[in-house]
Amino acid sequence: MDVKYINHFISAVNNTFTTMLGSSPERQGLSLKQHHVAQGDISSIIGFAGKLAHGSVALSFPQETALKIHAVMTGETLDKLNKDVQDTVGEIVNIIAGGAKTEFDQEGLSFHISIPTVVVGKDHTIIHKGSTPIVLLPFTWEGCSFVMEISLKLEGTPRRPIRQLAGEAF
Amino acid sequence: MKVLVVDDSATMRRIIIKNLNDAGFSDTVEAENGIEAISRMAGVELVLTDWNMPVMDGLSFVKEIRRNTAYANVPIVMITSIGAKKEVVEALKQGVNNYIVKPFTPAILIEKVKSVIPN
């Protein structure tokens, strides 16, 4: 997977947070994830399916982050991950996936995106189908943390191997 | 003016309705998918709809109401995270009057809404 494809997702995260939440997050690094356990208390995953690209993207949030996002988006302060917060998290991931899809489409890599699935609970699992490596991108936003997971398979030969990307700061 | 807001996300419906209310559009009705939206069309003068929804998606909903002569001229704004040119062209072809790509600001939302309201 070429580095620019990861940047499509990062760009979508920045645009979504800046427009809907008033400030952009900071990315903290990049690594490959070797297991399925989520880092947050609530996660949302969206699948991609197309002839030239398929996979999934997930965002996982600690409770504190999810509650803060919900409060900023809706003006409603809550203290648990109820149905409304789950809906907010699903919608944020939907907007990010749509933003990334738009950038891929401009490069001729069209795919459909699924409806978001939301999972709640300590140590829940996030399953990305297939054996494609999972790229893990941690972020901080307004003192809160969250991570994005990307598992994307492009048909054809990647310009550089994905393991090489993991050690790069871009 | 009665405005129908169609989105499977309750959070997004809440944001859209708040922005509409702040701009003076206080008569709103909600639906969470195309099927529900069809059943709530009576008296509606403007539709704001998402695309990617379960049960019946936004594009299918637009096709349905454009087939009905009673709603053939109701302005429709599609509000969706899908901003690819191909999708925008398809939506306009099926009868959508304007298109907003999420994420959006309140100013953009109201500007696009006003652009489709007849003078």
Tokens encoding A92: 């944020």
Q: Is residue A169 part of a domain?
A: no
Per-residue pLDDT at B119: 73
What CATH number does the domain located at B3-116 have?
3.40.50.2300
Please check whether residue B88 touches A, CB under 8 A: no
| Peptide bond preceding B103 in cis form (omega within 30 of 0) | yes
Rounded-to-integer distance, Cα B116 and Cα B109, Å: 11
Contact yes or no for A154/A54 (Cβ under 8 A): no
Please state which of the ranges A26-30, A130-134, B26-30, B101-105 shows the lowest mean pLDDT: A130-134
User: Cα distance from B31 to chain A (closest Cα, Å)?
Assistant: 15
ipTM > 0.90 for the complex: no
How confident is residue A163, by pLDDT bands cut at 50, 70 and 90? Answer: very low
Per-residue pLDDT at B118: 81
Rounded-to-integer distance, Cα A10 and Cα A13, Å: 5
List the single best residue of A16, A19, A94 to mutate versus B (max B Cβ within 10 A): A94
Q: How many domains does chain A have?
A: 1
Contact yes or no for B3/B76 (Cβ under 8 A): no
Distances (CA, A) of A132 to A13, A127, A151, B108: 22, 11, 6, 38
Q: What are the per-10-residue average pLDDT scores of chain B (119 residues)?
A: 97 96 97 97 97 94 95 95 87 95 95 91
Please check whether residue B78 touches A, CB under 8 A: no
A23: domain CATH number is: 3.40.1550.10
Q: Do A91 and B12 touch (CB under 8 A)?
A: yes
Q: Is residue A165 part of a domain?
A: no
How confident is residue A65, by pLDDT bands cut at 50, 70 and 90? Answer: very high
Amino acid letter, residue B54: P
Residues 6+ apart with CB under 8 A from A82: none
Whether residue A164 has pLDDT greater than 50: no
Per-residue pLDDT at A158: 39
User: Cα distance from A103 to chain B (closest Cα, Å)?
Assistant: 8
Q: Do A19 and B105 touch (CB under 8 A)?
A: yes
Per-residue pLDDT at A169: 37
Q: Is residue A170 part of a domain?
A: no
Residues 6+ apart with CB under 8 A from A167: none
Whether residue A122 has pLDDT greater than 60: yes
Beta bridge partners of B98: B77
Name the helix (H) or strand (E) containing B107. helix B106-116
With beta carbons under 8 A apart, name residues in chain B contacting A74. 11, 14-15
Q: Provide the domain limits for residue A139.
A: 3-157
Q: Is residue A163 part of a domain?
A: no
**CB-defined contacts A:B, below 8 A:** 65
Please check whether residue B81 touches A, CB under 8 A: yes
Contact yes or no for B4/B26 (Cβ under 8 A): no
Rounded-to-integer distance, Cα A15 and Cα B4, Å: 27
Q: Do A102 and B83 touch (CB under 8 A)?
A: yes
Whether residue A1 has pLDDT greater than 70: no
Rounded-to-integer distance, Cα B103 and Cα A11, Å: 12
Q: Is residue A79 part of a domain?
A: yes
- What are the structural domain ranges in chain B? 3-116
